Every structure is written in structure tokens, then in C-alpha cells.
């Protein structure tokens, strides 16, 4: 029987090679002065920012560029970006890049709209956390990697450099109005970033698929996203110029984004946010180190779905009976095989994490990622989290 569910993801998706050229048509519906946000000056140097500014100008949209954003966007950087945007008089935000740029654009849209520091709107687990309202400026997402799903979700992950907390803010008002998904922009992404972001697609799909908030709609999207990752991620890592593989992964990233926007994430993302907050690790690498262990931890609480993950990765049908080839452990092994094949077998000890960080990571997970922990069908305790960190070390 189909269970009760809610589904609300109000994002217009403009998908396909060359679609960047259409950006102005959509941006002009929301504003006349756009602030383009990127992480660092890279896209200015490659000419992509100038190209986008020209596209916007053709639709009568003036634009400015803000790039002082790091790969794990800091609340201080978002506040400085908001100040820059206020002085420019921006009325619409464009996040151009991977998840960090899009998240930073969302953060700036909230900070300008509410005329407040962004940390007031980050759910750090403290009393007094605020939620973004309709005052949030409109956000346009132009994604240049495949993996974070941020072009579809309302979430923005912001790190507080003082407390080293890395929560995700989000409300019905922080969804991008429009997501431009142009696979041509992804052709030059280097193999290591392709692998790390590509693994993020898989982690989103596994977690949304097995989440307490999963629904029939998100299940179907997760299933397809996992199949596409199995078919195309190795190809894209091997040959970044493979437009068919890039397009397929961009689609899988979009499907996984539509899934986590509603079914959210579970245990692995919850811990990995805290790892990233304390140790500034690369999100996809941290997920790859921990996913096999979080799968083993939770799989008996949702065995059919966990068995299917390995089958979808091999592009086979759903499992109906339990046998040797269709076991839970075989599913984890299939994920581990992919991790090895794409060069993501990097234990936490090689990502700058120290055993002495475990306590702070576990405390952070419980303090501000409690919602994600609760979405996992097996509810992890602090000891469980430390045990998973040890196994991933």
C-alpha cells in the first residue's frame, strides 16, 4: 500500500547542453540587478563569468561578481557577500558553480532579504534559531558539477569558523526559482572532483531511498539515479569530455536533488557534515569513506531497499528473494567496488581527521544534525557514531 506523503519542490529546471545561453530569459523574471556568486576567481579567469554577464545584459539584467567564498562557505564570507550585494543593490542572486557557490548564493539571499547575519538563520541547535521567510531574495542556480543537488534543494550548508559547526539551513523560501543544468559546463571538471561529486549523487540517492521520509515518488527517482551512477560515473571520471556521461550524471544529480529536497539525508551525511565542520574535509571524499560503514550499520532495518542498491548499481532488477548473490553485504561490496574504481578509497585518517576529533564530531552530529540522524531507520547513538568514525578511519 502506498504510504501517506508530502511532496513540494518548486524549482523550474532548464536542462541540456547549451542551455546557459537561456539564463537571461529566466533571470529577468525575478530581478534587474543580479549578484553572481562563485567560489574563488576561477570562473572569472576561464571567461565563464564574463560570458554569463553578457548573456544577462542581452536580457537587460545588470550584474556584479562576488567570489570570496571558500569550498566550505563560511558564515563570515556569506555576510561579507551580503554587504557587497547590498551596496550593489542586487535584487536576485545567481549561484554559479558547485554546491558551495549555490549554497553561498542562498545564504546571501537570506542575509540580504532579512538584513541580518546569516548565522541567525542557520539551525545550530541553539534556542533562537530563525527560519528563512518570503523576504529571501530570489535565487537562480547554475550548476557546473554533478553531485551536490543544491540546484534543486532548499538547503545551504554554512560553516561557522568560530564554533566549527556546519549545519544546513533551508525553508520553503530558499529553493532556487530556476536551475540551469548545462552539461557542457561540466566537461572540464577534473577527474578527482568528478569522482567526489559523483559519489555525492550516490550518497544522496542511498540516503533518500532509505530515509524515514522516503516516498513512492522519491524512491523511483533514487532508483534511476543509482542506476545512472552505476552506468556512467566510471566513464565520466575516465574521460571528462564524454558529453553523454556528463549529461546522464547531471540528470542523476537532478533526480537525487529532487529526492533529498523531500526525503532529506540520513546517517552518513549527518556525520559527514560534522566531520567537514571540524576538519574541513572534501564532502564527497568523506561520504565515500563512511558510506559502506553506515550502510552496514543501518541495512538490517530496511533490508529490501539496501539489497536493491547493489542491484541498481549493476543495472539489474529489484531483488525478490534472499540468496548469496542478492545479499545485503553484496550490496555494500558493490558500493565499495565503485569507490575503488573511481579512486575514492581514502580513509578519514588520510583526509586530515584525527582520532582526537571524534568526540567533537560526534557531539556536533547530535547537536545540529539531529534531524538527519532521526531520518535514518536505525537511530544512532553517540557511541554508534564514534564506532562508525573508527571503522572509516
CB of 148 to Fe ion, least distance (A): 6
Q: With respect to Fe ion, which residue has the nearer C-beta, 200 or 285?
A: 200
CB of 271 to Fe ion, least distance (A): 12
User: Is the Cβ of residue 103 or residue 200 nearer to Fe ion in the bound state?
Assistant: 200
Residue 261 backbone class (left: φ over 0; alpha: ψ -120 to 50; beta: rest): alpha
- In order, the DSSP letters of 63-131 are EEEE----SS-BHHHHHHHHHHHHHHT-SEEEEEESHHHHHHHHHHHHHHHHTS-GGGGS--SSTT---
Report the C-alpha gap between 78 and 119 in whole angstroms. Answer: 9
- Exposure of 54 in the CB half-sphere (CA atoms within 13 A): 7
Stated as kind and residue range, the H or E segment containing 14 is: strand 12-15
Residue number of the CB closest to Fe ion reads: 200
Report in angstroms how near the CB of residue 120 gets to Fe ion at its nearest.
Answer: 24
**Of the two residues 200 and 384, which places its CB atom closer to Fe ion in the complex?**
200
Asked if 253 touches Fe ion (CB under 5 A), the answer is no
Distance of closest approach, residue 140 Cβ to Fe ion, in angstroms: 21
Closest CA to 98 of 49, 155, 145, 37: 145
Instruction: Give the nearest distance from C-beta 391 to Fe ion in angstroms.
Output: 20
Binders of Fe ion in range 164-203 (CB under 5 A): 200
CA distance 370 to 367: 6
Q: For CA atoms 92, 94, 100, 103, give the dihedral sign.
A: positive
Nearer CB in complex with Fe ion: 137/338: 338
In the bound state with Fe ion, the residue whose beta carbon lies nearer, of 202 and 353, is 202
Q: CA 268 to CA 278: how far, in whole Å?
A: 16
Q: Minimum distance from CB of 26 to Fe ion (Å)?
A: 25
CB neighbourhood size of 39 (10 A): 24
Q: Which is nearer to Fe ion, 48 or 380 (CB)?
A: 380
Q: Which secondary structure element, helix H or strand E, spans residue 205, and what is its range?
A: helix 191-210
Chain-centroid distance, C-alpha 216: 21
Instruction: Please identify, using beta-carbon distances, which residue of 77 and 259 lies nearer to Fe ion.
Output: 259
Rounded least distance, CB 383 to Fe ion, Å: 25
**Size, binding site for Fe ion by CB under 5 A:** 1
271 touches 163 (CB < 8 A) = no
Residues at the site binding Fe ion, with contacts judged by CB under 5 A: 200
Amino acid at each position: 500500500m502506498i504510504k501517506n506523503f508530502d511532496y513540494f519542490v518548486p524549482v523550474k529546471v532548464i536542462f541540456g547542453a547549451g542551455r546557459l545561453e537561456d539564463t537571461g530569459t529566466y533571470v529577468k523574471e525575478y530581478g534587474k540587478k543580479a549578484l553572481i556568486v562563485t567560489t574563488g576567481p576561477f570562473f572569472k579567469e576561464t571567461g565563464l563569468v564574463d560570458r554569463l554577464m553578457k548573456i544577462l545584459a542581452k536580457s537587460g539584467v545588470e550584474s556584479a561578481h562576488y567570489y570570496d567564498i571558500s569550498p566550505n562557505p563560511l558564515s563570515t564570507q556569506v555576510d561579507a557577500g551580503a554587504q557587497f550585494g547590498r551596496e550593489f543593490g542586487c535584487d536576485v542572486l545567481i549561484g554559479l558553480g558547485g554546491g558551495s557557490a549555490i549554497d553561498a548564493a542562498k545564504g546571501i539571499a537570506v542575509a540580504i532579504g532579512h538584513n541580518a547575519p546569516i548565522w541567525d538563520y542557520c539551525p545550530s541547535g541553539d534556542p533562537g534559531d530563525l527560519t528563512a521567510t518570503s523576504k529571501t531574495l530570489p535565487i537562480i542556480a547554475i550548476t557546473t558539477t554533478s553531485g551536490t543537488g543544491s540546484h534543486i534543494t532548499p538547503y545551504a550548508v554554512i560553516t561557522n569558523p568560530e564554533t566549527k559547526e556546519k549545519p544546513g539551513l533551508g525553508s520553503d523560501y530558499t529553493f532556487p526559482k530556476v536551475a540551469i543544468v548545462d552539461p557542457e559546463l561540466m566537461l572540464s571538471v577534473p577527474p578527482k572532483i568528478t569522482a567526489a561529486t559523483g559519489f555525492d549523487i550516490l550518497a544522496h540517492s542511498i540516503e533518500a531511498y532509505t530515509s524515514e521520509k522516503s516516498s513512492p515518488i522519491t524512491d523511483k527517482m533514487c532508483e534511476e539515479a543509482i542506476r545512472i551512477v552505476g552506468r556512467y560515473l566510471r566513464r565520466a571520471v575516465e574521460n571528462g569530455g564524454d558529453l553523454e556521461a556528463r549529461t546522464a550524471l547531471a540528470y542523476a544529480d537532478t533526480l537525487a536533488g529532487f529526492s533529498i529536497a523531500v526525503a532529506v539525508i540520513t546517517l552518513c551525511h549527518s556525520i559527514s557534515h560534522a566531520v567537514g565542520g571540524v576538519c574541513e574535509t572534501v564532502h564527497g571524499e568523506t561520504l565515500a569513506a563512511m558510506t559502506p560503514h553506515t550502510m552496514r550499520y543501518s541495512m538490517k532495518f530496511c533490508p529490501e531497499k539496501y539489497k536493491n542498491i547493489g542491484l541498481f548499481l549493476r543495472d539489474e532488477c529489484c531483488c525478490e528473494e534472499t540468496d548469496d548473490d542478492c545479499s545485503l553485504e553484496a550490496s555494500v561490496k558493490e558500493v565499495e567496488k565503485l569507490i575503488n574504481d573511481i579512486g575514492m578509497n581514502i580513509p578519514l585518517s588520510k583526509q586530515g581527521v584525527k582520532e582526537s576529533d571524534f568526540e567533537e564530531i560526534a557531539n556536533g552530529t547530535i547537536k545540529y544534525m539531529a534531524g538527519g540522524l532521526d531520518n535514518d531507520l536505525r537511530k544512532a547513538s553517540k557511541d554508534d557514531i564514534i564506532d562508525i568514525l573508527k571503522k572509516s578511519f
